[in-house]
Structure 1
Amino acid sequence: MTHDSLRQRLKAATAGQHERVDVAFSSFDLESIKGYRAFLGAHLQVVHPLEVALEAAGIDRLIHDWANRQRRHALMADLHELGENRIALPAPLVVEPTPGWCLGACYVLEGSRLGGRLLARRVAAANPAAPLNYLAHTDTSPSWPGFLEEFEQSARLQPWQELLAGASDCFDLFVAAAAGH
């Protein structure tokens, strides 16, 4: 299997889940501060515990520029700027991540930043003063192609089922978070 076909295989295997996430988050009114705050709050429910779990499992040994890619601090900064001064951190994930699981989850997290630029424009057009540290993080951090290069090098050494489980679990977390807000 080539590197590109592994990425395409993961994308194809999770396409239905990806669509469910898109539908779930499309209900948030990003043009209003209240809706944007709820959107960020839902993302915090996934991003914070997921990044903490990935870091505890050693994601920086698989994705070497991880420190530049993590976004939970940018997300919390945006929520603080929007008046959320008492942010309750979500419960830790109950998972013992394998390297393959971590890579699958990281694939989804990194993919989620791709739409960030479009969403940032939408939010900024409606509310020019809205904080965009989280959504615009893609403008200041390493690129998707750079991530894919490392992902594909590391992922080819991992069991397919672990990659798929990490990606699937991550998509499920996003759907649940959107439904909870």
Structure 2
Amino acid sequence: MQLLQALREATGPLHRRLDDAVSAQPIETLSGYARFLSMHAEILPAVEDWLLRSRDFATLPEFRDRLRTDALRRDLSALKLPMPKMRDMSFLNDESSVVGICYVLEGSRLGAAYLCSLLGKSDATLPTAFLRHGSGRSHWKTFLAWLTEQDRSGLATGQAVFSARQVFDSYLKALLEQDNNRKRVFGTS
């Protein structure tokens, strides 16, 4: 799993920063959960739309079943929250980006299962279509099998790492900008 290891090592610090930023507000609260969903809504629709146009993504088993934008929209709608403006994702321009992007999205699904368990332990009654999407399926296992079949050349690995880092960075920027906007509006620090 040389490619998986390269992705983990290269994205680890960004992944930890994003996890820390997400956990800065309790996910079990309406504001924390709305913040989390809004962050995803700035990124995920554009990423999944791009993936659907990629021939490499179509080689991933059950590729259409992995898409979570509709579940995200349902949860935002249930909370009466608008879809935020999508971020510029112009770095999505190379077929070899699919591997890195799918690594982030499939890892996010694992994280969603953990967050769903936190919500289940709380008194929160929040919509969880997004967090539960794909539960009971073997998406991570089939992703790992697919990953072993991908190009592991230096160039392809470099592009996969670059795109994965860009996706993590986009999520982090979306969340931090939300927090900064909230501070300006509400005058909090």
Shorter-chain-normalised TM-score: which range?
0.7 to 0.9
Cα contact 2:116–2:132 (8 A) shared by 1: yes
Give the alignment partner of residue 109 of structure 1, picking from 94, 100, 105: 105
Q: Deviations over 1:4-63 (max 9, x none)?
A: 122112211221111111112111221211221111011111111111122123343331
2:48 corresponds in structure 1 to 51
Long gaps (5+) in structure 2 = 179-189
Long gaps (5+) in structure 1 = none
Q: Helix, strand or coil: the match of 2:150?
A: helix
Give the paired residue count. 177
Q: Distance in 1 between matches of 2:15 and 2:74?
A: 27
Over the aligned positions, Cα root-mean-square deviation in angstroms equals 1.9
Cα contact 1:32–1:126 (8 A) shared by 2: no
- How far does residue 66 in structure 1 lie from its aligned partner after superposition? 1.2
Cα contact 1:113–1:135 (8 A) shared by 2: yes
2:166 corresponds in structure 1 to 169
1:91/1:171 CA distance change after superposition, 3 Å: closer
Q: Distance in 2 between matches of 1:38 and 1:17?
A: 19
2:114 corresponds in structure 1 to 118
Q: Distance in 1 between matches of 2:137 and 2:45?
A: 18
Tell me the amino acid that sits aligned with residue 102 of structure 1.
Answer: V
2:125 corresponds in structure 1 to 129
1:23/1:37 CA distance change after superposition, 3 Å: same
Q: How does 1:17-166 map to 2 (within 5 A)?
A: 17-84=14-81, 86-91=82-87, 93-156=89-152, 159-166=156-163
Q: Helix, strand or coil: the match of 2:26?
A: coil
Q: Deviations over 1:87-126 (max 9, x none)?
A: 2441552234222111111111111111111101212332
Q: Helix, strand or coil: the match of 2:149?
A: helix
Shifted more, 162-171 versus 147-156: the winner is: 147-156
Cα contact 1:14–1:167 (8 A) shared by 2: yes
Q: Distance in 2 between matches of 1:21 and 1:88?
A: 19
After TM superposition, the score normalised by the length of structure 1 is 0.88
1:106/1:47 CA distance change after superposition, 3 Å: same
Shifted more, 139-148 versus 150-159: the winner is: 150-159
Shifted more, 154-163 versus 68-77: the winner is: 154-163
1:137/1:27 CA distance change after superposition, 3 Å: same
Shifted more, 67-76 versus 45-54: the winner is: 45-54
1:16 corresponds in structure 2 to 13
